[in-house]
Amino acid sequence: MLNFKEWLVETSLSSAERSLLGLPKRGSKYSHPSESEWEIIRPELVSRSVKSNPLLDVELTAYTPGETLAIMNNSKIVAYHDKVSNFKVPGGVDTIVLVPCAKSKPWGKSCVSDFYRSYHQLREDPAMGRIYMATISEPLGVVPSDDWDNFPQYDNPGLFDDTAMQSSLFTKDWSDERTEIGRRIGSKRIMPFDRDSYEEAIDKLSDVIARFMETNRDKKFVSFVGDPSGKLSTHSDMIRRASAKSGIPIVEFLKKPAVGREKGTVYRHMKEKIGSVE
Protein backbone atom coordinates (compact mmCIF):
# COMPACT_ATOMS: atom_id res chain seq x y z
CA MET A 1 0.00 0.00 0.00
CA LEU A 2 1.33 3.46 -0.95
CA ASN A 3 2.01 5.95 1.80
CA PHE A 4 0.70 9.48 1.33
CA LYS A 5 3.85 10.95 -0.25
CA GLU A 6 4.12 8.00 -2.64
CA TRP A 7 0.44 8.43 -3.55
CA LEU A 8 0.97 12.11 -4.39
CA VAL A 9 3.50 11.26 -7.08
CA GLU A 10 1.94 7.96 -8.24
CA THR A 11 -0.18 9.79 -10.78
CA SER A 12 -2.32 8.49 -13.61
CA LEU A 13 -0.86 10.35 -16.54
CA SER A 14 -1.91 8.78 -19.82
CA SER A 15 0.73 6.96 -21.83
CA ALA A 16 0.78 9.89 -24.27
CA GLU A 17 1.37 12.33 -21.40
CA ARG A 18 4.16 10.18 -19.96
CA SER A 19 5.80 10.08 -23.39
CA LEU A 20 6.01 13.90 -23.32
CA LEU A 21 7.97 14.07 -20.05
CA GLY A 22 11.39 15.60 -20.58
CA LEU A 23 10.70 16.63 -24.19
CA PRO A 24 10.63 20.16 -25.62
CA LYS A 25 7.21 21.63 -26.37
CA ARG A 26 6.81 22.19 -30.08
CA GLY A 27 6.65 25.90 -30.87
CA SER A 28 7.73 26.90 -27.36
CA LYS A 29 11.04 27.76 -25.73
CA TYR A 30 9.99 25.66 -22.73
CA SER A 31 10.03 21.89 -22.18
CA HIS A 32 7.75 19.45 -20.45
CA PRO A 33 9.00 18.38 -17.00
CA SER A 34 11.13 15.29 -16.72
CA GLU A 35 9.77 12.37 -14.73
CA SER A 36 11.82 13.36 -11.68
CA GLU A 37 10.62 16.98 -12.00
CA TRP A 38 7.00 15.81 -12.23
CA GLU A 39 7.51 14.08 -8.86
CA ILE A 40 8.33 17.54 -7.47
CA ILE A 41 5.62 19.44 -9.33
CA ARG A 42 2.58 17.30 -8.60
CA PRO A 43 2.80 17.36 -4.77
CA GLU A 44 3.22 21.16 -4.99
CA LEU A 45 0.05 21.39 -7.11
CA VAL A 46 -1.86 19.30 -4.57
CA SER A 47 -0.52 21.44 -1.73
CA ARG A 48 -1.73 24.61 -3.49
CA SER A 49 -5.13 23.02 -4.11
CA VAL A 50 -5.49 22.16 -0.42
CA LYS A 51 -4.58 25.72 0.60
CA SER A 52 -7.30 26.98 -1.73
CA ASN A 53 -9.87 24.53 -0.34
CA PRO A 54 -9.11 22.86 3.03
CA LEU A 55 -12.13 20.57 2.47
CA LEU A 56 -10.49 19.10 -0.65
CA ASP A 57 -10.42 15.33 -1.07
CA VAL A 58 -6.87 14.92 -2.42
CA GLU A 59 -7.87 11.69 -4.20
CA LEU A 60 -10.03 13.88 -6.42
CA THR A 61 -7.27 16.04 -7.91
CA ALA A 62 -6.40 15.98 -11.61
CA TYR A 63 -4.07 18.32 -13.49
CA THR A 64 -4.02 16.67 -16.94
CA PRO A 65 -6.61 15.01 -19.19
CA GLY A 66 -5.15 11.59 -18.37
CA GLU A 67 -5.52 12.23 -14.65
CA THR A 68 -9.05 13.50 -15.26
CA LEU A 69 -10.02 10.20 -16.87
CA ALA A 70 -8.48 8.34 -13.93
CA ILE A 71 -10.43 10.18 -11.22
CA MET A 72 -13.64 9.69 -13.16
CA ASN A 73 -13.23 6.01 -12.27
CA ASN A 74 -13.00 6.86 -8.56
CA SER A 75 -15.93 5.25 -6.71
CA LYS A 76 -16.98 8.64 -5.25
CA ILE A 77 -17.22 10.19 -8.72
CA VAL A 78 -18.98 7.16 -10.22
CA ALA A 79 -21.57 7.25 -7.42
CA TYR A 80 -22.13 10.97 -7.96
CA HIS A 81 -22.61 10.46 -11.71
CA ASP A 82 -25.29 7.85 -10.97
CA LYS A 83 -26.99 10.15 -8.48
CA VAL A 84 -27.10 13.24 -10.67
CA SER A 85 -28.16 11.33 -13.78
CA ASN A 86 -31.42 10.54 -11.97
CA PHE A 87 -31.84 13.88 -10.17
CA LYS A 88 -35.24 15.44 -10.79
CA VAL A 89 -35.35 19.17 -10.14
CA PRO A 90 -37.99 20.38 -7.65
CA GLY A 91 -41.53 21.07 -8.79
CA GLY A 92 -42.62 24.53 -9.90
CA VAL A 93 -39.52 25.02 -12.05
CA ASP A 94 -39.79 25.68 -15.78
CA THR A 95 -36.18 26.62 -16.64
CA ILE A 96 -32.88 25.02 -15.66
CA VAL A 97 -29.98 27.47 -15.79
CA LEU A 98 -26.55 25.88 -16.33
CA VAL A 99 -23.60 27.80 -14.88
CA PRO A 100 -19.83 27.13 -14.78
CA CYS A 101 -17.98 25.68 -11.81
CA ALA A 102 -15.55 27.83 -9.85
CA LYS A 103 -12.25 27.10 -8.15
CA SER A 104 -13.63 28.47 -4.87
CA LYS A 105 -15.57 25.61 -3.27
CA PRO A 106 -18.11 24.71 -2.02
CA TRP A 107 -20.57 26.98 -3.86
CA GLY A 108 -23.12 27.71 -1.14
CA LYS A 109 -23.68 31.21 0.21
CA SER A 110 -20.24 31.26 1.83
CA CYS A 111 -18.57 30.98 -1.59
CA VAL A 112 -16.32 33.97 -2.30
CA SER A 113 -16.63 33.72 -6.10
CA ASP A 114 -18.17 36.88 -7.59
CA PHE A 115 -20.02 34.67 -10.07
CA TYR A 116 -21.63 32.59 -7.34
CA ARG A 117 -22.63 35.70 -5.44
CA SER A 118 -24.54 36.71 -8.57
CA TYR A 119 -26.05 33.24 -8.90
CA HIS A 120 -27.31 33.34 -5.31
CA GLN A 121 -28.72 36.83 -5.91
CA LEU A 122 -30.65 35.49 -8.90
CA ARG A 123 -31.91 32.49 -6.95
CA GLU A 124 -33.30 34.84 -4.29
CA ASP A 125 -34.86 37.28 -6.77
CA PRO A 126 -38.70 36.85 -6.57
CA ALA A 127 -38.95 37.66 -10.28
CA MET A 128 -36.78 34.62 -11.06
CA GLY A 129 -38.72 32.14 -8.95
CA ARG A 130 -39.27 29.54 -11.67
CA ILE A 131 -35.58 28.92 -12.42
CA TYR A 132 -33.32 26.24 -11.02
CA MET A 133 -29.52 26.41 -11.23
CA ALA A 134 -27.09 23.60 -11.84
CA THR A 135 -23.32 23.74 -12.22
CA ILE A 136 -21.44 22.21 -15.14
CA SER A 137 -18.38 20.53 -13.69
CA GLU A 138 -15.42 18.42 -14.57
CA PRO A 139 -15.27 15.71 -13.19
CA LEU A 140 -18.84 15.63 -11.74
CA GLY A 141 -20.77 16.50 -14.91
CA VAL A 142 -23.63 18.39 -13.23
CA VAL A 143 -24.01 19.65 -9.65
CA PRO A 144 -27.61 20.71 -8.85
CA SER A 145 -27.84 23.78 -6.60
CA ASP A 146 -29.35 21.51 -3.92
CA ASP A 147 -25.83 20.06 -3.64
CA TRP A 148 -23.80 23.27 -3.72
CA ASP A 149 -22.83 22.78 -0.08
CA ASN A 150 -22.51 19.02 -0.34
CA PHE A 151 -20.65 17.50 -3.28
CA PRO A 152 -17.33 15.62 -3.54
CA GLN A 153 -14.66 18.28 -3.05
CA TYR A 154 -12.35 18.10 -6.05
CA ASP A 155 -9.83 20.20 -7.96
CA ASN A 156 -9.73 19.37 -11.66
CA PRO A 157 -8.18 22.02 -13.92
CA GLY A 158 -6.64 19.28 -16.05
CA LEU A 159 -8.79 19.78 -19.16
CA PHE A 160 -7.45 23.28 -19.82
CA ASP A 161 -4.90 23.22 -22.64
CA ASP A 162 -2.90 25.98 -20.98
CA THR A 163 -0.12 25.49 -18.44
CA ALA A 164 -1.08 28.44 -16.23
CA MET A 165 -4.71 27.30 -16.04
CA GLN A 166 -3.78 23.62 -15.50
CA SER A 167 -1.28 24.34 -12.76
CA SER A 168 -2.21 27.80 -11.39
CA LEU A 169 1.51 28.52 -11.81
CA PHE A 170 2.60 31.60 -13.73
CA THR A 171 6.07 32.04 -15.21
CA LYS A 172 7.40 33.84 -12.11
CA ASP A 173 6.12 31.05 -9.83
CA TRP A 174 8.43 28.49 -11.43
CA SER A 175 11.50 30.38 -10.20
CA ASP A 176 10.15 31.36 -6.77
CA GLU A 177 12.81 30.01 -4.38
CA ARG A 178 10.33 29.93 -1.50
CA THR A 179 8.84 26.79 -3.11
CA GLU A 180 10.18 23.32 -3.91
CA ILE A 181 9.53 23.97 -7.59
CA GLY A 182 11.52 27.22 -7.54
CA ARG A 183 14.43 25.76 -5.58
CA ARG A 184 14.72 22.45 -7.45
CA ILE A 185 13.49 23.29 -10.97
CA GLY A 186 13.87 27.06 -11.28
CA SER A 187 12.29 27.71 -14.68
CA LYS A 188 8.95 27.21 -16.36
CA ARG A 189 7.83 23.80 -17.59
CA ILE A 190 4.88 22.96 -19.86
CA MET A 191 2.20 20.73 -18.35
CA PRO A 192 1.60 17.48 -20.25
CA PHE A 193 -1.66 17.44 -22.21
CA ASP A 194 -3.16 14.48 -24.10
CA ARG A 195 -5.78 15.57 -26.65
CA ASP A 196 -7.24 12.06 -27.02
CA SER A 197 -7.79 11.84 -23.24
CA TYR A 198 -9.39 15.29 -23.34
CA GLU A 199 -11.86 14.11 -26.00
CA GLU A 200 -12.69 10.96 -24.05
CA ALA A 201 -13.19 12.85 -20.78
CA ILE A 202 -15.44 15.48 -22.38
CA ASP A 203 -17.48 12.78 -24.09
CA LYS A 204 -18.01 10.85 -20.84
CA LEU A 205 -19.01 14.00 -18.99
CA SER A 206 -21.44 14.92 -21.75
CA ASP A 207 -23.07 11.51 -21.23
CA VAL A 208 -23.74 12.42 -17.59
CA ILE A 209 -25.16 15.81 -18.54
CA ALA A 210 -27.32 14.25 -21.28
CA ARG A 211 -28.83 11.78 -18.79
CA PHE A 212 -29.57 14.64 -16.37
CA MET A 213 -31.26 16.53 -19.21
CA GLU A 214 -33.32 13.49 -20.20
CA THR A 215 -34.49 13.08 -16.59
CA ASN A 216 -35.67 16.72 -16.75
CA ARG A 217 -36.72 16.91 -20.39
CA ASP A 218 -39.95 18.73 -19.48
CA LYS A 219 -37.86 21.83 -18.62
CA LYS A 220 -36.21 24.49 -20.77
CA PHE A 221 -32.42 24.63 -20.58
CA VAL A 222 -30.40 27.85 -20.64
CA SER A 223 -26.63 28.03 -20.20
CA PHE A 224 -24.23 30.77 -19.14
CA VAL A 225 -20.91 28.96 -19.71
CA GLY A 226 -19.68 30.56 -22.95
CA ASP A 227 -16.24 32.16 -22.91
CA PRO A 228 -16.42 35.90 -23.77
CA SER A 229 -13.19 35.49 -25.78
CA GLY A 230 -15.06 33.35 -28.30
CA LYS A 231 -12.96 30.27 -27.59
CA LEU A 232 -14.80 26.97 -27.09
CA SER A 233 -14.73 26.40 -23.33
CA THR A 234 -14.63 22.92 -21.84
CA HIS A 235 -18.12 23.55 -20.42
CA SER A 236 -19.52 24.63 -23.79
CA ASP A 237 -17.96 21.56 -25.40
CA MET A 238 -19.65 19.33 -22.80
CA ILE A 239 -23.12 20.85 -23.05
CA ARG A 240 -23.18 20.93 -26.84
CA ARG A 241 -22.40 17.24 -26.99
CA ALA A 242 -24.99 16.58 -24.27
CA SER A 243 -27.63 18.51 -26.20
CA ALA A 244 -26.91 16.52 -29.35
CA LYS A 245 -27.07 13.20 -27.48
CA SER A 246 -30.29 14.00 -25.64
CA GLY A 247 -32.00 15.82 -28.48
CA ILE A 248 -32.88 18.61 -26.02
CA PRO A 249 -31.93 22.15 -27.05
CA ILE A 250 -29.92 24.48 -24.82
CA VAL A 251 -30.15 28.23 -25.28
CA GLU A 252 -26.54 29.39 -24.89
CA PHE A 253 -25.26 32.71 -23.54
CA LEU A 254 -21.84 34.00 -22.49
CA LYS A 255 -21.05 33.57 -18.80
CA LYS A 256 -20.56 37.34 -18.57
CA PRO A 257 -20.77 40.30 -20.96
CA ALA A 258 -17.87 40.65 -23.35
CA VAL A 259 -17.24 44.11 -21.85
CA GLY A 260 -17.94 45.67 -18.48
CA ARG A 261 -16.71 44.60 -15.06
CA GLU A 262 -18.58 46.79 -12.62
CA LYS A 263 -20.28 45.16 -9.65
CA GLY A 264 -23.58 43.55 -10.58
CA THR A 265 -22.72 43.09 -14.27
CA VAL A 266 -23.11 39.30 -14.22
CA TYR A 267 -26.38 39.49 -12.30
CA ARG A 268 -27.91 42.02 -14.70
CA HIS A 269 -26.59 40.17 -17.76
CA MET A 270 -28.12 36.87 -16.66
CA LYS A 271 -31.44 38.35 -15.56
CA GLU A 272 -31.87 40.11 -18.90
CA LYS A 273 -30.97 37.03 -20.95
CA ILE A 274 -33.16 34.64 -18.93
CA GLY A 275 -36.06 37.07 -19.32
CA SER A 276 -35.60 37.03 -23.11
CA VAL A 277 -36.03 33.24 -23.41
CA GLU A 278 -39.50 32.20 -24.48
Question: Is 119 a member of any domain?
Answer: yes
Question: Is 159 a member of any domain?
Answer: yes
Question: Is 251 a member of any domain?
Answer: yes
Question: Is 158 a member of any domain?
Answer: yes
C-beta of residue 118 within 8 angstroms of C-beta of residue 267: yes
Residues 6+ apart with CB under 8 A from 142: 84, 87, 98, 134, 135, 136, 208, 209, 212
- φ and ψ at residue 148, rounded to 5 degrees: -65, -20
3-state secondary structure 183-206: HHCCCCECCCCCHHHHHHHHHHHH
Report pLDDT for 2: 41
**Number of domains making up the chain:** 1
Report pLDDT for 12: 85
Class of residue 91 by CB neighbours under 10 A (exposed 0-12, middle 13-18, buried 19+) = exposed
Report pLDDT for 1: 41
Question: Is 4 a member of any domain?
Answer: no
> How far from chain centre, in Å, is Cα 237?
12
Q: Which domain holds residue 18?
A: 9-276
Rounded CA gap, 158 and 139, in Å? 10
Mean pLDDT in consecutive groups of 10 residues from the start of the chain, 278 residues: 48 90 94 94 93 94 96 96 97 95 95 95 91 98 97 97 95 93 96 97 98 97 95 96 98 89 84 90
Question: Is 2 a member of any domain?
Answer: no
CATH number at residue 250: 3.40.50.10630
